[in-house]
Amino acid sequence: MTTLNPKSPNPFFHYGPQNPSLIFSIFPPISRSLSIFNRAKLGVGICVPKHTPNPNSTSLNDSLRDRNESRGVCLKDKDVDVATLGNLCVDVVLNVPNLPPPKKEDRKAYMDRLAASSPDKQYWEAGGNCNVAIAAARLGLQCIAIGHVGNEIYGGFLLDVLHDEGIGMVGMSVDNDFVDNSAASYETLLCWVLVDPLQRHGFCSRADFSKEPAFSWLGKLSGEVKMAIKKSKILFCNGYGFDELSPGLIVSALEHAIEVGTAIFFDPGPRGKSLSAGTPEEQQALNQFLMKSDVLLLTSDEAETLTGIKNPILAGQQLLRQAVRTKWVIVKMGSKGSILITISSISFVPAFKVDVVDTVGCGDSFVAAIAFGFINSLPMVNTLAIANAVGAATAMGCGAGRNVASLERVMQLMRDSNLIEDESSWNELFDVSLDAQEVTILSKMAINGINSRLNHVSLQSVVSELLPMFESVELKGKSCVLKE
d(CA 393, CA 386) in angstroms, rounded, equals 10
Is the pLDDT higher at 3 or at 422? 422
pLDDT average, residue stretch 305-331: 94
Q: Which of 12-21, 211-220, 424-433, 450-459 has the lowest mean pLDDT?
A: 12-21
Compute the average pLDDT of residues 191-209. Answer: 83
In terms of Cα–Cα distance, which of 300, 299, 314, 344 is closest to 430? 314
Residue 90 lies in a domain: yes
In a domain, 7, yes or no: no
Residue 19 lies in a domain: no
User: Could you tell me the CA-to-CA distances from 356 to 132, 197, 393, 433 in Å, in that order?
Assistant: 19, 16, 9, 34
| Number of structural domains the chain divides into | 1
Q: How far apart are the C-alpha atoms of 212 and 197, rounded to whole Å? A: 34
Q: Of 68-72, 111-115, 424-428, where does mean pLDDT reach its minimum?
A: 68-72
pLDDT at 30 over 50: no
Name the average pLDDT for the chain: 79
Question: What is the residue range of 448's domain?
Answer: 80-173+185-482
94 has pLDDT over 90: no
- State whether the Cα torsion 67-341-130-279 is positive or negative: positive
User: Is 51 part of any domain?
Assistant: no
pLDDT in tens, 31-88: 222 222 223 322 222 233 333 333 333 333 333 344 344 334 555 678 999 999 999 9
Answer whether 148's CB lies under 8 Å from 158's CB. no
Cα of 131 vs its chain's centroid, Å: 6
Mean pLDDT across 262-269? 96
Is the model's pLDDT at 418 over the cut of 80? yes
Contact by Cβ (8 Å): 359, 319:
no
Residue 400, C-beta contacts closer than 8 angstroms, at least 6 positions apart: 91, 125, 126, 127, 130, 131, 360, 361, 364, 394
- 395 within a domain of the structure (yes/no): yes
Overall average pLDDT of the 5-12 stretch = 36
Note the pLDDT of residue 417: 86
> Which of 165-174, 184-193, 298-307 is most confident?
298-307
The better pLDDT of the pair 196, 434 is held by 196
pLDDT value of position 110: 85
Least confident of 86-95, 223-232, 259-268: 86-95
pLDDT band at 190 (very low <50, low <70, confident <90, very high): confident
| Residue 380 pLDDT grade (very low, low, confident, very high; cuts 50, 70, 90) | very high
The lowest-confidence range among 144-153, 260-269, 414-423 is 414-423
Beta strands in 218-344 (DSSP E): 232-238, 263-267, 295-299, 328-332, 338-341
- pLDDT of 429 > 80? The answer is no
The reported pLDDT for the residue numbered 478 is: 54
Instruction: Categorize the per-residue pLDDT at 12 as very low, low, confident or very high, splitting at 50, 70 and 90.
Output: very low
Classify residue 413: in a domain, yes or no. yes
Specify the higher pLDDT residue, 258 or 205.
Answer: 258
In a domain, 153, yes or no: yes
> Do the domain assignments include residue 72?
no
Query: Is residue 425 pLDDT above 80, yes or no?
Result: no
| CATH code of 345's domain | 3.40.1190.20
